[in-house]
């Protein structure tokens, strides 16, 4: 328990130390790489701006995560229930990935405005695919023995989906959701870069234009911290759901 | 070879007459390759028949056809009482096939859950008691040993209360000693069922089968039935058993070479 807490702290301290040493020893100019105390100072100075920006970006990520996971799961379930539907949806899914989400960002801002909606859509698109792909894969690869047993017990296709294929696909769903959570900020931040009046991406872009590198780093730091926190919460919830598969999935404790 | 009548091993009079199983003219073909052709086999009501064969001979496919999981190319499988087989078969696969997300007792009542029926926990607990796992009802399968898991699978099979039981090498993953124990339990608990078990283990066949049939060759055919004398489960050092086991081993080795 102490070790699991100590590991991230050690990693954090070593990284900051290396950063500090690099700025000191190589005398890198402030506008390229500010020193850690300067970033800390900016963090405190801009706390009001950063807090409201964090709230915006967090809401975009959280909404995108919920909507993207819901849509991705529904899509995977629909494909599992009807193989015919799968033949129609799968090419669309692949096509959606052939167009990079980044290339869509300006279009989404044009369609959904400068507000949060375009960023939520963006985050949803980024999160949708890993969830749909992993979950659908899990639903299609149920242990044939479990399926045989259910068939001999006279289970209907609906009952097999609900009581066999769905629970059996939960580990795959969990790994898809973990990947999606880790990349969730991409959607929100890229959306904010293209056009926004709030959020951490907006703060970073503004600070960049004014060469306030320390503020940029402060925003980045908050973003990283937030992503790690969301990932941890999602991971905890998934472990709770997957009480029956303790070691076979996810990161080690 | 012993020609004891299979009827001596049938359930005692007074018990409900169990339907038998009739396999006639059964054939399976994958493209131009015939796995087996023209198989005829009758399992009397209440009889425990063991089908022996080396791996790849098509015995699993045969069992899946009987279970209604695969279609045969030719032939039929019927019940001796003329009623359909579907819905009256309990199936045990090569692994215990316990669902890891369900507790032991939920696994025993799996059939009810899958058919949307009301589960009967008292009956499930009673059956768990018969396989000596009464205290582990709330455990997850991952907390049990291989032998315990297999006993849960037996309880689940009994919970279905179907006259027919099909078993596809159900004990092949267990170590020799645990396997012998589970065989004893199987022979005892499945007495009033019509059972078709497939295995590649001559000792297993001799210990718990009333009648043994060897499936061998390409395409595979059934050999002459072999009767093993005495009530099951038989002692592993029984003279007749050892003799028949050796005989079976020889048939299987010759069939495999051919």
Residue A147 belongs to domain spanning: 37-241
Q: Mind telling me how many Å the CA of A134 is from chain B's nearest CA? A: 19
Task: Answer yes or no: is A113 within a domain.
Answer: yes
Mean pLDDT of B81-97: 89
Residue B106 belongs to domain spanning: 19-255
- Backbone phi and psi for residue B100, each to the nearest 5 degrees, phi listed first: -65, -20
Element (H, E) at A62: helix A47-81
B114–A154 CB contact, under 8 Å: yes
Task: Answer yes or no: is A3 within a domain.
Answer: no
Q: Are B233 and B207 in contact (CB under 8 A)?
A: yes
Q: Is the pLDDT of residue B8 over 80?
A: no
* B197 burial type by CB count under 10 A (0-12 exposed, 13-18 middle, 19+ buried): buried
Q: Is the pLDDT of residue B9 over 60?
A: no
> Based on the structure, what is the number of domains in chain A?
1
Does A144 lie at the interface with B, CB-CB under 8 angstroms? no
> Which residues touch A1 (CB under 8 Å, ≥6 apart)?
none
| Count of CA atoms in the C-beta half-sphere (13 A) of B258 | 15
Task: Answer yes or no: is A32 within a domain.
Answer: no
Q: Mean pLDDT score of chain A, rounded to an integer?
A: 88
- Backbone phi and psi for residue B52, each to the nearest 5 degrees, phi listed first: -105, 145
pLDDT-derived band of residue B188, with 50, 70 and 90 as boundaries? confident
Task: Answer yes or no: is A250 within a domain.
Answer: no
What is the gyration radius of the CA atoms in chain A, in angstroms? 22
Task: Answer yes or no: is B9 within a domain.
Answer: no
Q: Are A131 and A176 in contact (CB under 8 A)?
A: yes
pLDDT tens column, A98-108? 888 788 888 88
* B86 burial type by CB count under 10 A (0-12 exposed, 13-18 middle, 19+ buried): exposed
Q: What's the distance, Cα to Cα, between the start and end of chain A in Å?
A: 9
Task: Answer yes or no: is B14 within a domain.
Answer: no
Query: For position B66, which CATH number holds?
Result: 3.40.50.300
B142–A246 CB contact, under 8 Å: yes
The predicted complex's ipTM stands at 0.85
Task: Answer yes or no: is A194 within a domain.
Answer: yes
Q: Is the pLDDT of residue B33 over 90?
A: no
Query: For position A209, which CATH number holds?
Result: 1.10.3720.10
Closest-CA residue to A153 (of B19, B69, B63): B69
A155–B140 CB contact, under 8 Å: no
- Backbone phi and psi for residue A239, each to the nearest 5 degrees, phi listed first: -60, -40
> Which residues touch B168 (CB under 8 Å, ≥6 apart)?
B60, B63, B64, B91, B92, B93, B94, B198
> Based on the structure, what is the number of domains in chain B?
1
């Amino acid at each position: 328990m102490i070790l699991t807490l100590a590991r991230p702290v050690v990693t954090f301290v070593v990284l900051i130390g290396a950063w500090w040493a690099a700025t000191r020893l190589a005398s890198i100019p402030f506008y390229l790489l500010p020193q850690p105390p300067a970033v800390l100072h900016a963090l405190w100075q801009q706390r009001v701006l950063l807090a409201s920006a964090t709230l915006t970006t967090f809401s975009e990520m959280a909404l995108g995560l919920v909507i993207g996971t819901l849509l991705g799961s529904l899509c995977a379930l629909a494909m599992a229930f009807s193989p015919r539907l799968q033949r129609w949806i799968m090419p669309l899914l692949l096509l959606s990935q052939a167009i990079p989400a980044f290339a869509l960002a300006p279009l989404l801002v044009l369609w959904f405005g400068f507000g949060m909606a375009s960023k939520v859509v963006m985050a949803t698109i980024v999160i949708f695919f890993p969830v749909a792909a992993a979950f659908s894969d899990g639903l299609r690869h149920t242990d044939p023995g479990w399926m045989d047993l259910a068939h001999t017990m006279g289970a209907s296709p609906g009952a097999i989906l609900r009581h066999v294929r769905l629970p059996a696909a939960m580990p795959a769903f969990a790994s898809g959701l973990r990947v999606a959570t880790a990349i969730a900020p991409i959607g929100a931040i890229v959306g904010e870069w293209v056009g926004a009046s709030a959020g951490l991406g907006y703060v970073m872009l503004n600070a960049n234009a004014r060469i306030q590198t320390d503020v940029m780093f402060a925003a980045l730091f908050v973003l990283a911290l937030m992503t790690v926190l969301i990932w941890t919460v999602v991971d905890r919830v998934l472990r709770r759901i997957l009480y029956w598969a303790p070691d076979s999935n996810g990161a080690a404790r | 070879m012993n020609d004891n009548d299979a009827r001596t091993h049938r359930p005692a009079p007074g018990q409900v007459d169990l339907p038998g199983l009739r396999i006639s003219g059964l054939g399976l073909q994958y493209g131009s390759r015939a796995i087996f052709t023209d198989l005829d086999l009758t399992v009397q009501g209440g009889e425990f028949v063991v089908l022996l064969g080396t791996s790849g001979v098509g015995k699993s496919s045969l069992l899946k056809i009987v279970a209604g999981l695969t279609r045969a190319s030719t032939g039929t499988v019927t019940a001796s009482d003329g009623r359909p087989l579907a819905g009256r078969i309990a199936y045990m696969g090569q692994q215990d096939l316990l669902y890891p997300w369900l507790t032991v007792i939920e696994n025993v009542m799996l059939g009810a859950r899958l058919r949307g029926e009301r589960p009967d926990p008292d009956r499930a607990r009673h059956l768990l008691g018969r396989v000596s796992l009464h205290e582990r009802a709330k455990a997850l399968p991952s907390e049990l040993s291989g032998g315990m898991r297999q006993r849960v699978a037996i309880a689940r099979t009994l919970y279905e209360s179907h006259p027919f039981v099909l078993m596809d090498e159900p004990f092949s993953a267990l170590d020799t000693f645990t396997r012998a124990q589970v065989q004893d339990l199987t022979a005892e608990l499945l007495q009033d069922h019509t059972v078709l078990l497939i295995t590649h283990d001559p000792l297993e066949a001799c210990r718990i089968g009333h009648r043994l049939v060897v499936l061998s060759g390409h395409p595979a055919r059934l050999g002459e039935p072999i009767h093993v004398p005495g009530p099951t489960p038989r002692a592993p050092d029984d003279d007749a058993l050892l003799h028949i086991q050796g005989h079976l081993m020889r048939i299987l080795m010759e069939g495999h070479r051919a």
